[in-house]
Amino acid sequence: MSMQTPLSECRRIFLRSLKREVSIGIHDFERAAPQTILFDIDLYVPLASSTPQRDQLHEVVDYDFVRSEVSRLVARGHIALQETLCDELLDALLAHPQVVAARVSTRKPDVYDDCEAVGVEVFRYKAAPPATGAAA
């Protein structure tokens, strides 16, 4: 049986339109200069571990953690695909001990002049920990 926290028992922490200049793309012109990428990120944290009792930052997941992970990943060098960027960021966010699920969306607003943006989105629950003890 899964021990995942239902999303209905979580606090959703989000960042909208976090902007970074990223070396990303498969075409030669995309390798020549960074492109604007906008990130929309949702983290799901159980209410039981994110409801502050003393109104202190250490009692919740800090937004700076998310911003730092985005900056760390895009600073590593050229990324060919938005899918790769989303998947790697999702893995990094789910590594946080309080995060039980996350959604990452990236979009390039400057690719086509006939649409607002092109992008990718991925959502995943953290894998449930393996069961301990012998089965009955």
pLDDT band at 2 (very low <50, low <70, confident <90, very high): very low
Nearest CA among 9, 7, 30, 19 for reference residue 111: 30
Buried b (16+ CB within 10 A) or exposed e, 16-55: eebebebbbbeeeebeeeebebbbbbbbbbbeebbeeeee
79-123 residue pLDDT tens: 999 999 999 999 999 999 999 999 999 999 998 999 999 999 999
pLDDT band at 128 (very low <50, low <70, confident <90, very high): low
What would be the CATH architecture of the domain defined by 7-125?
2-Layer Sandwich (3.30)
21-68 residue pLDDT tens: 999 999 888 889 999 999 999 999 999 887 878 888 888 888 999 999
Q: What is the pLDDT of residue 51?
A: 82
